[in-house]
Amino acid sequence: MCDNNMNSSCICKKNVLEKHYTYEEIQAIANYLKDRVKITPQIGIICGSGLGSVAELLTDPLKFEYADLPNFPESTVIGHEGRLIFGKIDKISVICMQGRFHYYEGNSLSRCVMPVRLMKLLGVSTLIVSNAAGSVNPSYKAGDIMIIKDHLNLVGFAGNSPLRGPNDESFGPRFIALNNAYDQTIIKDAKILVEKLGLKGFHEGVYACVGGPSYETVAEMRALKILGCDAVGMSTVHEIITARHCGLGCFAFSLITNEGVMSYETEDKPDCDDILAVANQRKQDLKIFLKHLVPHLLNKQF
């Protein structure tokens, strides 16, 4: 029970941020939404920093502010609108997160990934995840797009996993294999689609997940390059792990919004405003890409 003194308030806030959602609690949020939404979403989309414009693809949208949803976290980062949207892309029912929750905001990883499990309970079978990332691969330029074929989970190496704690068999098994975390069939088809649409600046590579919110040092960037990473960011991986735990098919991509700093002899540095500007420059290409990819995931034809 919380009283009015500052110490108690801080303790209560901490408990909320570290909250571990039970199956019953997530089901209650799902039931709340099912009572208000007529469609059953088949595809889930998580929009990364500055990529919320993807939600403009949805027809007949029904929007819910995170703040208005019961027992739901709120996003506090610039470029994350904090909105859950239901709608359709070419007759395919979709649920879209305009903004995610990050570990560096003080959330537990369990709290960060709760919406993925919510999507599963709402009917989603395939998850598309996007993010803004810095390039590690020197051939990548700001504005390029990297289809993620694999990841390096540095947050997980430190012992932080969204699956840490008692396992709920209602969602999935205690141990899961991740050697095929990113659906290779979807990746293959996405690459074909990129070629058919004539889209430029697409790559396929390995994404490294760090905790943030600070950007990487020169030494850290050099280490990531040696480890075989092509891009680095502060999200996505724990969402993919949770999605695979739930049995969802996964596809993810990074918008390269800044080039990683590999030298001490430069004045260059990552900047949030620049990141959002790059996202705005490529939003039309990403909308075209997803407009064609989403129907394919169910229809299996372009």
- Taking only the tens place, the pLDDT of each residue in 7-44 is 444 434 445 566 789 999 999 999 999 999 999 999 99
SS3 29: helix
pLDDT value of residue 302: 59
Domains and CATH numbers, the chain: 12-299 (3.40.50.1580)
pLDDT value of residue 9: 41
SS3 139: coil
**DSSP state for residue 152 in the 8-state scheme:** E
Q: How many other C-beta atoms can be found within 10 angstroms of the C-beta atom of residue 267?
A: 5
pLDDT value of residue 5: 46
Nearest to 80 by CA among 275, 242, 230, 244: 275
Distance CA 74, CA 105 (A): 10
Distance CA 26, CA 23 (A): 5
Token reading at 289: 């890409």
Q: Which residues pair with 104 in a beta bridge?
A: none
Radius of gyration of the chain (CA): 19
User: Residues 6 or more apart from 287 whose CB is under 8 A from it?
Assistant: 53, 54, 56, 57
Nearest to 215 by CA among 156, 271, 264, 277: 271
Give the CA count within 13 Å in the CB-facing half-sphere of 195.
Answer: 6
Give just the sign of the alpha carbon dihedral 65, 121, 302, 201: positive
Q: Which residues pair with 97 in a beta bridge?
A: 46, 84
**Higher per-residue confidence, 34 vs 283:** 34
The residue length of the chain stands at: 302
> pTM of the full predicted structure?
0.92
Which residue type occupies 214?
S
Read off the pLDDT of each residue in 112-137 and give the average, rounded to a whole number: 97
Distance CA 27, CA 151 (A): 30
Query: Could you read off the pLDDT of 251-260 as tens digits, one per residue?
Result: 999 999 999 9
- Name the one residue in this structure whose structure tokens are 């289809």: 147
SS3 238: helix
Distance CA 232, CA 220 (A): 10
Q: What is the largest CA-CA distance in the chain?
A: 62
Query: Could you read off the pLDDT of 257-278 as tens digits, one per residue?
Result: 999 999 999 888 887 788 788 8
Which residue type occupies 185?
T
Query: Could you read off the pLDDT of 194-247 as tens digits, one per residue?
Result: 999 999 999 999 999 999 999 999 999 999 999 999 999 999 999 999 999 999
Query: Could you read off the pLDDT of 40-81 as tens digits, one per residue?
Result: 999 999 998 777 888 889 999 999 999 999 999 888 776 668
Read off the pLDDT of each residue in 85-113 and give the average, rounded to a whole number: 94
pLDDT value of residue 11: 39
pLDDT value of residue 6: 40
Distance CA 122, CA 119 (A): 5
End-to-end CA distance of the chain: 57
